[in-house]
Each structure stands twice: as C-alpha cells, then as structure tokens.
Amino acid sequence: MDEATAVFLKALASDTRQQMLAQFSGVGELTAGEIAERSGLRPSTASEHLRLLHRGGLVDARKEGKQIYYRIDSPAVDRRLTVLRDYLDHCRIPPGQAGEASGTEDGHGSTHADASDRSRTAGGRHTVWDRLKESVAAMQAQLVARKNELRSGAFRDASMAMCALVAAADGIIDPAERRRVAQLIATNEVLQHFEAADLQRLFEANLDLLTPDFGAGTAAVLHEVAKVRKPAEARAVVQIGIVIGVADGEFVESEQAVVREACRALGLTPREFGL
C-alpha cells in the first residue's frame, strides 16, 4: 500500500473525524467553525482534526478572505479507494483456496499464523517509529551540543523559514498548527539565544509569504532557507525542521517533502538525514 493511502486510513480511523465527515452530507462546503458547532467540538480541536483529514486526502479546502471552506475531496477519495480495493484484492485468498490457508484456528476465527503475522507487522511499525524517535533525539542532542555556535542571524532567519515550511507543509495555514509550531519554537533550547519576539515575527512573516500562493510562497521561503552558508548551520536548519515536524508524534509525507526541498536548496543530501 502506498503511503498516501496509509495516511488516508489513519485519518479515517478516528470516530471523531468520521462524525465530522458526516456533517458534509447534503451541504457541500463548511467552515471550521460550522463543523465545530455541528460536531460539538472546540474550534481549535476541530481545526486540528480537519488538518489531519486534509493530510489524509479526505477533505479539500479553499480560502475566501480570512475564511477557509472545507469540502469532501471526491477525486482524492476515489483514488485512495481504488488503491485500497486493489491492495485488498491482492491480499485476499483466491476463491476455492480458502481451505488451504495454513495455521490453526484460535477459537475466534483467526489462525495462530494470522496472529503471528499481525504481531510481526505491528512490531515492525513500532521498530520503525522507535528508530525515528531515536534519530530525532540524537539530532536534538547534536543541536544542543552546538547551540553556542548557532548564534548567527542567517541561522535564525533560515530556521524560522524552515519552521514555517513544516507548519504549512500540507498547503493549509492551519491556526492550530501555527500555534503548535510557535510554541515549539519558543521552547526549543537551541533557539533560546534569540529574542522570542524576533523569532515569532520571522516565523509569521514566512507564513504570510506562503498564504496567498503556496507554490510561489514556497520558492520565496526556500530562498530564505538557502541564505545560510556555513555547512554546520545548514545541517542544523534541516535538523530543526525534522525535530519540529516529528514533535506532534508523526512526520507525514508532506512535511518530509518540504524538508527534502530545503536540503536541496542548501546543497545537502536528504539521505544524510534519513529522508
């Protein structure tokens, strides 16, 4: 299964998000505030769930003035369902061979072989996530060890541009995501050398570049990232982006993609950072 379909399923797995999707029936478009009211959620909570639904390809969004309107992304949903159907067709036992499946039933209709496979699969996912967390912990430790060397204005500016790209990676400047990343910036030990107000101003300025036209804005913000020249600072900027991206417990493909673009803008190889 491709990663986009896996993210689609993860977004759909929440009861809350399923109930939110049901609110679109018969109405077409809704604002985050309308969805929050219909679902009995706080606006910030609804916005966070909408961000995950957007990443999963379940909803699309358009901005009109200061308001964002959401709707079911029918073409994307159709694509994901087609991939999912093909995947399940590939996995299932062909007709007439059901009795040949190996393994002993455990009394609940599942075989011990099935249980073992599920355990290995879950363990594999756990191991991958553990490796990622260990890698990010090592990056943060390296950043902290070098924090006294990371004091230049170029590093500050490039880091805030990198953080803005991660916050807006899915193309939506979500208020909840904006606040979350701003809080991470304010509490990151490596950035404590800089004035908090300056960091906030630069972060917001880069988000403002991304808001009117995400494609053109991305090019402008990557130009800010590329202003850092020292190799050690360039690597630290990429590490900051990864640390910020992973902080919410997931590092989705859109976030990885903008960090890879930043690597290329800085003349670095994404593989160096496990990307």
The string of pLDDT tens digits covering residues 120-159 is 444 444 444 455 666 777 777 888 888 888 888 888 999 9
State the greatest distance between any 2 C-alpha atoms of the chain, in Å, as a whole number.
Answer: 70
**Window from 31-45, 88-102, 139-153 with minimum mean pLDDT:** 88-102
Average pLDDT for 160-175? 81
For 91, 114, 156, the CA distances from 97, given in Å and listed in that order, are 13, 16, 62
Assign 64 to helix, strand or coil.
strand
Average pLDDT for 67-71? 88
Q: Is it the case that residue 55 has pLDDT exceeding 50? A: yes
Pairing between β-strand 30-31 and β-strand 67-72 as defined by DSSP bridges: antiparallel
Residue type, 265: A
The residues, ordered by sequence, that sit 6+ positions from 19 with a Cβ below 8 Å of its Cβ are: 39
Phi (first) and psi of residue 188, to 5 degrees:
-75, 125
Partners of residue 70 on adjacent β-strands: 30, 61
The residues, ordered by sequence, that sit 6+ positions from 221 with a Cβ below 8 Å of its Cβ are: 161, 164, 165, 206, 209, 210
Query: Cα separation of 162 and 191, whole Å?
Result: 13
Check: CB of residue 251 under 8 Å from CB of residue 132: yes
pLDDT at 160: 92
Outline which parts of the chain fall under CATH 1.10.10.10: 3-74
Q: Output the CATH code of domain 129-273.
A: 1.10.3680
Measured in whole angstroms, the distance separating CA 145 from the mean position of its chain's CA atoms is 27
Phi (first) and psi of residue 157, to 5 degrees:
-65, -45
Which residue, 267, 269, 271, 185, is CA-closest to 230? Answer: 267
Kindly report the pTM of this predicted structure: 0.56
pLDDT at 113: 44
CATH of 3-74, one of 1.10.10.10, 1.10.3720.10, 1.10.10.60, 3.40.718.10: 1.10.10.10
Phi (first) and psi of residue 194, to 5 degrees:
-100, 155
**Which run of H or E residues covers position 31?**
strand 30-31
**Window from 156-160, 227-231, 254-258 with minimum mean pLDDT:** 254-258
Outline which parts of the chain fall under CATH 1.10.3680: 129-273
